[in-house]
Every structure is written in structure tokens, then in C-alpha cells.
A and B are shown apart, each in its own frame.
Chain A
Amino acid sequence: MTRSSFMSRKELIGFLILAAVIFLLLPAMLDSFRLNLFGKYLTYAFVAVGLALCWGAGGILSLGQGVFFGLGGYCMAMFLKLEASTPENTAIQSTPGIPDFMDWNQLTELPVWWQPFYSLPLALLAVVAVPVLFAFIIGFAMFTRRVGGVYFAIITQAFAAILTILIIGQQGYTGGVNGITDLRTLLGWDIRTDEAKTTLYFVNGVLLFAVLLIAQYVRKSKLGRLLIAMRDQEDRVRFSGYNVANFKIFIFCLGAAFAGIGGAMFTLQVGFMSPTLVGIVPSIEMVIFCAVGGRLSILGAVYGALLVNWAKTSFSEAFPELWLLGLGGLFIAVVMFFPNGLAGLWSEKIEPRLMKRFQRPGTDTLKPVAERAPAE
């Protein structure tokens, strides 16, 4: 059966549960404000799914995913900003018709490289293409030189720092520390209303599932098995005649594309983009989402992003001055007690018990549980 090779029954159930949570449970339980918050958390899930592929499957730990998230987000923000900066809206400026921050920085005309962002198709293309191009350059430079492991992680972190400094430094072109703010409409559709935010939440959910299905496809394909082989014994794969670097570049670019889509959805739902989402701290946070969820599981990554961000919001609302300690405690607890994250907790502890309880004697679907949890 083709389905069973793409997705086992257990995985299918996992997908359906997640779909029920995202499309039924959360919208039914939450008011528009909270739903919008969960929409924001789900944009981080795009990055976490990409990381589950790169890091969990491929063994490539990137501490710079914020770069791709930010690039995707900035591409979207540039389009929305241009739409919001009509000459009528900006009549108070020295040069009407250009974004407000350019005017504050004494720019008198729109830079050439902003021009393509007047077009929505080009902007949407850029949301994916710019992060992928960037990832390709980094990946090509690193992987063909066989830079890997910790060194790669450090270099990606450096890229996150470089891009932040670049954005902050070039504030006439990028909005600097403030970022690109006050985004209003998408092709005339006001994205700030509650209805729009709810619609965007569902668009976000659909896109997330598309990304999850792609990720599932990759994991089940020959490429996915090669990635795991590379993670565990890179040299053997190389000696078997495979070009290891190309596979790594591909998976890194795929992760970047996911992150870029997440960034664009973030901009749409939150209404602005700023360099605080590009730097080292958010990049590491994104790795934490993935680690808490379980880096080996793409669905776990989604739950990780939801749980950590939900905890962050509720801790900080309840204890505005102490919440960081609570969050830190959560991370330590997860890493100490569930090294494979939430997904590990599920597949090692909860699922076997459920199986035992509900398994009728004589049925033959009991599968080895450790299937997707190889030791590092």
C-alpha cells in the first residue's frame, strides 16, 4: 500500500490529532485574541519542523534559523510597508510615498532593491527564494568544505549576529532597531481586524500542514534514510558513493524555506517585523522549541513550539518579574528527564501503556516502539 510507506497508521493518527487540535480544538476554545497568539506560536512551528529535519534527521545543528525566519518576514513586511506608504498616508513627510523610516533617515527616493516588493507575486516568491538563496550560499560554502557539527553551529550563529548588525546599521533601508512597523493591508484587505487574524490563523494552519506533509515525505523517502545514515556515520555514506554535501545543502535549504514561510506568516499576523527576531537569542529559542518537542519528531516540533510559547506567555502574565526563572526550569526539566522531548515522552512512556491497555490479545499491529528514536 502506498499510504503505509508514506505514513504509518500511528503517524496518520498523530497527524489527525494535530489537525483536530489546530483546526477544531483551539478555535473552539479560544477568543480571537488568544487564537491570534497561538497563530503567532504556530509560525515558530515552521522553523521547528525545519530544524527537526536538519538537526533531528540530518544532524546539522543550525543556531541561525532566525536569519531565515527574519528574511522571510522582512520580504513580506517590505511588500506590506510599500502598500501602507501611499502618498496620501504619508503626506506629512518630506518625501511622500516612501516608507516613513526612510524619510526620517533623509532618504528621498525608494532604493532600487525595494522596487520589486511593489508586486505581491514577487514578494511571495522572495519570501521563499531569499532565505533559500542565503541558505544555499552558507551551505555550499560550509558543507563542500566539510565543515560540520559544532563549527557549523557557531558559524550560523555568527551569521545571525551579522545580519542583525546589518539590519540595525542600515536603518534608512531596513527600519533599524524599530523594524518595519505599522503594516495595515494586504491588497486592500485590512489585516489588523479580528476577522482577518482568524482567517490568517487558518491559512497559517493549512500552510503548516503542507510543510508537515513535505517534511513527512522527505523523511520517508530515500533521502530521509540517507540523512539519518549521514547523521550516524557520515563517512560510510560518503564511501558508499554519495555526495554528502549536496544532501546536506538540500535539507538546509528546505529548512530555510520553511522558516521563511513562517516568518512571512509572523509578519502578517503580528503586523510588524524587527531585528529582534533575527538575532542569536531567537535563533536559539527556536532550537529550544525543537528540543522540547523532540528533535526527532516533526509533530513533536509543532507541540514544542506551542507549549514553550504558551508557557512563556502565561508565566510572564502571571509573574511579570519572575517568569524567566519558570521558563528556565521548564527547559532544564525537559532536557534532564525527557532527552527526546515531548515526542520521546509520548513514544517511550505513554504510548506503550496505551497500547497495552487497548490492545486486544491476538492482534498483530503492535510495532517496535523504538522505531523512530535511534540513539545519538
Chain B
Amino acid sequence: MSDETPKKRSTGLSRREVLAGGTALSAALFLPKNLKAADFPTAEINTTGLAVTDDTVTIGILHSVTGTMAISETGSVQAEKLAIDQINAQGGILGRKIEYIQEDGASDWPTFAEKARKLLVNDKVASVMGCWTSASRKAVLPVFEQHNGFLYYPTFYEGLEESPNVIYTGQEATQQIIAGLDWVNQTKGAKSFYLLGSDYIWPRTSNKIARKHIENFMEGCKVVGEEYYPLGHTQFNSVINKIRLRKPDVIYAIVVGGSNVAFYKQLIAAGIDPAAEKPIVLTISVTEDEIRGIGGENIEGAYACMKYFQSLENENNLKFVEEFKKMWGDDIVIGDVTQAAYLGPWLWKAAVEKAGSFDVDKVREASPGIEMTTAPEGYVKVHENHHLWSKTRVGRAQADGQYEVVFETAELVEPDPFPEGYQ
């Protein structure tokens, strides 16, 4: 008799435990982050025949992993895969795991167009994370607009575009440029600027905006020179001589790719040490990725103006950098574009969940106003014009290849792809 009671008690206890556990479990299932696929019948959330099944959704990754751009675009691919893994670990989107089809743009614009069409027409992907150069984006744009695809484009770029089929997760030119120019003017007292860049649309448009801002909105400031060099150019002696002659306060450099290596080495060889700040070197084209090629000692002391640096000290970023390195190796560096690429899958997830549908038209409608508080760069928000509200920061290059953040805008900077007064 006496030993029956404890037995009963113990079974009673365990039953309660089971019940309690069950309640907790069912509560967890109704948390917004763990949406069940069964609550969203495929026929209802996918009315346009996209690659959505009862437990998966397929998206495309379209970057160059071969050819000259591979070195820049690999970081974006890695970031996108990390984001997809993390989303899947949390239960996916509307209860569906993300699967991806990766295609290689091969640094060749017609190939980008071909692969974009393949992803949209053949594979019916629900969205695409991809492209890097403006040329590749321009090549795929008509394809996305014709087949009503949805692209998340990570690179900072020249603006002058606002496609209903693209979310631009990098900064457009005015966001990146104006804050930096104001900063160098106000804190360093810079008055004269020498603009130079690689010869294609992004540096040219960026310098156009920089010149208008300097001449029209910054009192007493002037541009003392503006020059362009072909992509891949490696002889900067003549422009460096001109710079020494005209003695600008700031060298505003938008040199891209391999030319950077030659440019910064030749600057130092000519006695213009960025660390001396006479003149100040300010760039918008050198991320941590480029410094690997240039060598930290060759660019130490130069300032870069963009929205993200790997060294940002906030909780989101510390976690992001740690997980990135865990997935892709300790020797990896993370630049501005890589971080912007990481935002793509997350912003898409948020938009799909807000819309309650994978249909491109509904995702597009849901996109403006989407907020992301877990972004490594801090808080971002999608603007009506499909660009992101984001802060702009200035970093000072260190010998170890990282940037020390010296300035950050107090408020989010509004994206303005068609700036009035800058055309």
C-alpha cells in the first residue's frame, strides 16, 4: 500500500510534465518565427507557378565564380549562402526550406543574361540574389522585367535606376558620397578636391555627383582636377605629378579592381603617404577585400566612405563576422558588398512573410517599409524606391587591412537614385 502512493505520484508528475511540454511545444509552433508550411497551402501562396513545393522554395544565386570578377563576387556568394543556411536553421520561409540553384555569370554580360533567363524561365525561381557590376545588372534587367523576376542586387552603384523588379541592398551614389565629402570638409577643413576614377559609368556618375555637391553645396570648395583611366590601367605617374603640382586638400579616388594596387603603391613611391594626410586620400571603392590586394601598409591612413566595415562594433556584426568565419574560414575578410549581399535573403524572407505569399507582385508590394534590426550594419529599412535607408560611415585604413570607423552619420541616409540638382 505504502509504495503505491509514490508510484501514483510519480506517474501523475510525469503526465503533467508531458502535458506541460506539449503546451510549450504547440506554443512554439505558433510563434511567428516558426511558421508551419501546412498553414500556408502552396496553391494559395504561389499563384504564378514559381518553384515552390509544400516544403521547399527555390531561389537563384547568379554571380561570377569564374573570370576576372570572381575575386570580388565570391564574397557575395558566401554571404548569401550563409544567410540561406541561417534562415533554414530557423525553419525557412513560410515553413519552407530555401533551396538554391547557383549559376555562373562568368564575368561575361551576355552569360549573365542567359543564366538569368534560365533561372526565371526554366527553373522558375522565386527570387534571385545576384549580379555585381553595373554592366551585369544592366544586362539582366530587361530579362527580369520581362519575366517578372525579383532580384536582390548587393553592390554600391551609380543610381539613376529604380526597377520594380530589383531591390538594391547596396548604397546608391548620393548616399555614399555626400556624407563623406561633408565630413572631410567639416572635420578636416578640406577645400580643394582632385577627382579621379576608372573609366566607366559608376566612377563617372559618382564624380559628377561629387563635383556638383562640392561646387554647389559646399561653401568655398572647388574641384581642381578630374581624370579617368581605363579599367586595368597601371601607370598613374602623370596624374600623381599633376596632383603634386595642384596641391589639392583631398584626392578623391574611385579606382577599381587591379588598378588600385598600382595606384596606391605609386602614390607612396611618389612621396604621397596617405597617413600624412597631405593631401588626404578619400575613396569610395576600396573595401577590405581590395586592401588584401593592395597591402595594408600601402594604404594605411587613407579614408573610405561606405556603409559597412568589418570592424563595426555592434552585437549583430560581431555575431555575423563570427558565423561567417566559422562557415568560410578564419582568414576571410568581409567588405561592404559582402554584407549587403547577406541582407538579400533576409529582406526577401521578411517581405514574403509580410505578403504571406511568394508571388512576385505581392512581394514587391510588401517590400517598401520592411525593416531589418539584425543587419550587421545596424538597422536598415526598404524605401519606396527599392533602395535601403542606411547609415554612411567613414573608416581609416589600418596596416592590418581593417578599417577603424572614425565617423558615422547620426541618422539613416535616405536613398535618392535620381538626385535633383545633381543631374
Tell me the A residues contacting B by CB distance below 8 Å.
31-34, 36-37, 40, 92, 94, 101, 104-106, 165, 168-169, 171, 176-179, 181-184, 192, 270-272, 274, 276-277, 313, 316-317, 320-321, 323-324
- Which of A33, A168, A272, A323 contacts B104 (CB under 8 A)? A323
Is the beta-carbon distance between A320 and B135 smaller than 8 angstroms?
Answer: no
A178 near B138 (CB under 8 angstroms)?
A: yes
Chain A residues positioned under 8 Å from B134 (CB to CB): 177-178
B200 touches A316 (CB 8 A): no
Q: Is the CB of A165 within 8 A of B103?
A: no
Determine the distance from Cα of A129 to Cα of B113 in the docked complex, in whole angstroms: 28
Question: Are B118 and A192 touching (Cβ within 8 A)?
Answer: no
List the B side residues contacting A36 at CB < 8 Å.
117
CA distance A33 to B123 in the complex (A): 11
Q: Are B103 and A320 in contact (CB under 8 A)?
A: yes
Q: In the complex, what's the smallest C-beta–C-beta distance from B145 to chain A, in angstroms?
A: 9
The residues of B that contact A270 with a CB separation of less than 8 Å are: 110, 113-114
Q: Which residue in A32, A37, A276, A321 is a CB contact (below 8 Å) of B108?
A: A276
Are B141 and A276 closer than 8 Å at their CB atoms? no
Contact with A along B102-114 (1 / 0, CB 8 A): 1110101111011
B142 near A182 with CB under 8 A, answer yes
Main secondary structure of the interface of B (DSSP, over half): helix
**In angstroms, how far is the closest chain B Cβ from the Cβ of A212?**
24
21 A-B pairs with C-beta separation under 8 A: A94-B423, A104-B158, A104-B201, A104-B204, A171-B200, A176-B199, A176-B200, A177-B201, A178-B134, A178-B135, A179-B109, A179-B138, A184-B142, A192-B142, A270-B113, A270-B114, A272-B113, A320-B102, A320-B104, A321-B104, A323-B66
Inter-chain contacts of A313 with B (CB < 8 A): 114
Contact of A274 among B104, B109, B121, B204 (CB under 8 A): B109
Contact B231 A40 (CB under 8 A): no
Q: B412 near A: Cβ within 8 Å?
A: no
Residues of B within 8 A of A276 (CB): 108-110
- Which of B111, B142, B143, B230 is packed against the most chain A CB atoms within 10 Å? B142
How many CB-defined contacts (below 8 Å) exist between A and B?
Answer: 102
A316→B138 contact, CB < 8 A: no
**A181 to B, closest residue via Cβ:** B138
Is B65 in contact with A320, judged by CB distance below 8 angstroms?
yes
User: A40–B146 Cα gap in the complex (Å)?
Assistant: 19
- What's the least CB distance linking B339 to chain A, in Å? 23
Interface residues of B (CB under 8 A from A): 65-66, 102-104, 106, 108-111, 113-115, 117-118, 121-122, 133-135, 138-139, 141-143, 146, 158, 160, 199-201, 204-205, 208, 230-231, 418, 423
Interface centre among B111, B115, B199 (most CB of A within 10 A): B199
Asked if B142 and A92 make an inter-chain contact with CB atoms under 8 angstroms apart, the answer reads no
A168 in contact with B141 given A192-B146, A271-B113 (CB within 8 Å): no
CA of A240 to CA of B234, assembled, Å: 52
Q: Which residue of A lies closest to B122 (CB)?
A: A33
**Measured CA separation A37–B113 after assembly (Å):** 11
Q: Is the CB of B121 within 8 A of A272?
A: no
- Which 9 A-B residue pairings sit nearest by Cβ, starting from the closest? A320-B104, A33-B121, A178-B135, A181-B138, A177-B200, A178-B138, A274-B109, A94-B423, A177-B135
Q: A179-B139, A192-B146, A270-B113 are in contact. Are A168 and B205 (CB under 8 A)?
A: no
Q: Is the CB of A104 within 8 A of B205?
A: yes
Contact of A182 with B138 in the complex, beta carbons under 8 Å: yes
CA–CA, A250 and B393, complex, Å? 61
Task: Report A-chain residues with C-beta under 8 Å of the C-beta of B138.
Answer: 178-179, 181-182, 272
Residues of A within 8 A of B66 (CB): 321, 323-324
